[in-house]
Amino acid sequence: MPLTRKVGKDVAEQYEADERLAADYDARLAAAREAERALRDAQGADQPGPELHELTIAFDKAMTEVLAAAEAAERIAMGPKTYVSDAQDAKARRAAEIARRKAKARPSVRPWTDEVDRLRTAREAHRLSFRTRPAAAV
């Protein structure tokens, strides 16, 4: 008799999707580093505005993708009990919320939580430093 809680099909699908996304974390992180390097090289070479703007947007997209992969890896580390689906009732949603908060305190999850925080901070610092959207015409 297994001691683990059975998960529904929809939760299992979400978990598998996160596993696939988390598997690409290293590749996405390398792509973000490459995009940042290209942006910094272009800044150092004083490239024209439109080219610099395209590189800024590419770096922002790469940071968003690596952040999504890190968040998926964090959810994987927390386990399937922390997932919630639309079909579940309020009691199950609350149980998943409590399981998520408990899981964030585990030593196996903490590195991923720190990585998500680091990536989110870096992305927001980039967004505040560089304009990724054109200014609104008044």
pLDDT digits (tens, 9 = 90+) for 22-65: 999 999 999 999 999 999 999 888 887 888 889 999 999 999 99
pLDDT band at residue 2 using 50, 70 and 90 as cut-offs:
very low
Which of 44-53, 61-70, 91-100, 121-130 tops mean pLDDT? 61-70
Whether residue 104 lies inside any domain: the answer is yes
Express the helix, strand and coil content of the chain in percent, nearest 5 each. Answer: 75, 0, 25
Q: How many CB atoms lie within 10 A of CB 116?
A: 19
Is residue 121 within 8 A of residue 70, CB to CB? The reply is no
The answer to whether the predicted template modeling score (pTM) of the entire model surpasses 0.85 is: no
Mean pLDDT calculated for residue range 9-23: 90
Greater pLDDT, 14 or 87: 14
Whether residue 2 lies inside any domain: the answer is no
Whether residue 119 lies inside any domain: the answer is yes
Buried b (16+ CB within 10 A) or exposed e, 10-27: ebeebbeebeebbebbee
Q: What tokens were used for 14?
A: 């979400």
What percent of the chain has a predicted confidence (pLDDT) above 90? 59
Greater pLDDT, 27 or 81: 27
Q: Count the domains in the chain.
A: 1
Whether residue 83 lies inside any domain: the answer is yes
Whether residue 138 lies inside any domain: the answer is no
Look at residue 34 in the predicted model and tell me its pLDDT.
Answer: 97
- What is the dihedral sign for C-alpha 113, 119, 121, 123? negative
Q: What tokens were used for 85?
A: 């689906």
pLDDT band at residue 6 using 50, 70 and 90 as cut-offs:
low
Whether residue 112 lies inside any domain: the answer is yes
Domain limits for position 28: 9-130
* C-alpha span between 108 and 74 (Å, rounded): 9
Whether residue 21 lies inside any domain: the answer is yes
Whether residue 3 lies inside any domain: the answer is no
Q: What does the mean pLDDT of the chain come to?
A: 88
Look at residue 1 in the predicted model and tell me its pLDDT.
Answer: 39
